[in-house]
């Protein structure tokens, strides 16, 4: 190769390789389990601090993985009345409730055409293992409407294999729109107070507009209902991480 001047071409060093710092990417993706965030109230913060110490102590001995509402989990508990003394249940997490040590999650599955929901406590010492078979999020925080949806959306194989995923990938959001059984439902899910985005409503337009009568558009502007947890979350996340590393 010769340049226009006729002199030999200057040595061009190869382009620098782009180093993807996996550690920093992992740290940027922070996940704090929702039961660590204290509710708004007049309780002494010392009580939450003491509870957090107990929760961290339990997490050091027993691994509680990161999971969201909509992920499929397998939980084995110690049961004195079962043979083998353990009881394994696989299901989709439909709800995460409670704060502190009493935090719970509800798993749902359909076994032999019978819907079964079991509410487990995260910090119960009888739980031997919590395994995440498929980690994903859904469009809603509360999937109680699966009770009124067609049973195919709640059936999961008891011997399901765990779905592999890369460490630093973002948690996938399943934008599935679920089809419902004919009305009546256990709750009027079309009403705006539940704010459900994961149902494919096949109701006539008139019914949908009638449901909007119960909307409360002033709620999002109500300042007394605001509870900004960002600073609290950062502080608690730092504290929890430091303790867990020890």
Partner 1 sequence: MMPIWTKSGEKHAVTLLKVQDCHVLKYVPKEDSDGKTAKLFVGGKNVSPFHKTEAEMAIFKEAGVPRKQKISVFKVTDDAIIKPGTPLYAAHFRPGQFVDVTAKTIGKGFQGVMKRWGFKGQPASHGQTKTHRRPGAISTNKASKVYPGKKMPGKMGNIYRTSFGLKVWRVNTKHDIIYVNGSVPGHTNCLVKVRDTKLPTYKDCNKNPPFPTFFADGDEELPEDLYDEEVFQFTDPSVTYA
- Binding residues for partner 1, rule: CB under 8 A, are 41-44, 46-47, 50-51, 54, 57-58, 61-62, 78-80, 85, 100-102, 121, 123-128
Report, in Å, the least distance between residue 82 CB and partner 1: 9
Report, in Å, the least distance between residue 200 CB and partner 1: 39
Report, in Å, the least distance between residue 102 CB and partner 1: 5
Q: Which residue in 128, 139, 134, 104 sits closest to 33, CA to CA? A: 104
Residue (42 or 231) nearer to partner 1, CB? 42
60 within 8 A of 244, measured Cβ to Cβ: yes
Residue (56 or 176) nearer to partner 1, CB? 56
Element (H, E) at 56: helix 45-61
CB contact burial 167-195 (16+ within 10 A = b; e otherwise): eeeeeeeeeeebebeeeeeeeebbeeeee
Residue (122 or 133) nearer to partner 1, CB? 122
Handedness of CA 64, 196, 102, 117 (dihedral sign): negative
Residue (31 or 49) nearer to partner 1, CB? 49
Report, in Å, the least distance between residue 101 CB and partner 1: 5
Please tell me the distance from the alpha carbon of residue 24 to that of residue 222, in angstroms, as a whole number: 38
Report, in Å, the least distance between residue 63 CB and partner 1: 11
Residues in the chain, overall count: 246
Residue (16 or 42) nearer to partner 1, CB? 42
């Amino acid at each position: 190769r010769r340049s226009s001047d006729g002199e030999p071409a200057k040595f061009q060093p190869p382009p620098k390789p782009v180093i993807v710092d996996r550690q920093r990417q992992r740290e940027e993706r922070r996940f704090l389990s929702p039961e660590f965030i204290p509710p708004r109230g007049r309780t002494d913060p010392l009580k939450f601090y003491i509870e957090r110490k107990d929760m961290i102590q339990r997490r050091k001995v027993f691994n509680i993985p990161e999971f969201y509402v909509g992920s499929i989990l397998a939980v084995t508990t110690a049961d004195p009345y079962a043979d083998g003394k353990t009881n394994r249940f696989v299901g989709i997490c439909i709800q995460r409730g409670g704060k502190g040590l009493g935090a719970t999650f509800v798993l749902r599955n359909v076994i032999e055409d019978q819907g079964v929901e079991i509410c487990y406590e995260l910090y119960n010492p009888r739980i031997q293992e919590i395994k995440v078979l498929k980690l994903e999020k859904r469009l809603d925080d509360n999937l109680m409407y699966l009770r009124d949806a067609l049973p195919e959306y709640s059936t999961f194989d008891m011997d399901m294999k765990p779905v592999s995923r890369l460490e630093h990938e973002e948690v996938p959001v399943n934008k599935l729109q679920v089809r419902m059984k004919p009305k009546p439902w256990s709750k009027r899910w079309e009403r705006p107070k539940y704010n459900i985005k994961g149902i494919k409503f096949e109701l006539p337009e008139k019914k949908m507009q009638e449901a909007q009568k119960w909307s409360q558009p002033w709620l999002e502007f109500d300042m007394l209902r605001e509870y900004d947890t960002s600073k609290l979350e950062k502080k608690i996340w730092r504290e929890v991480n430091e303790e867990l590393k020890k």
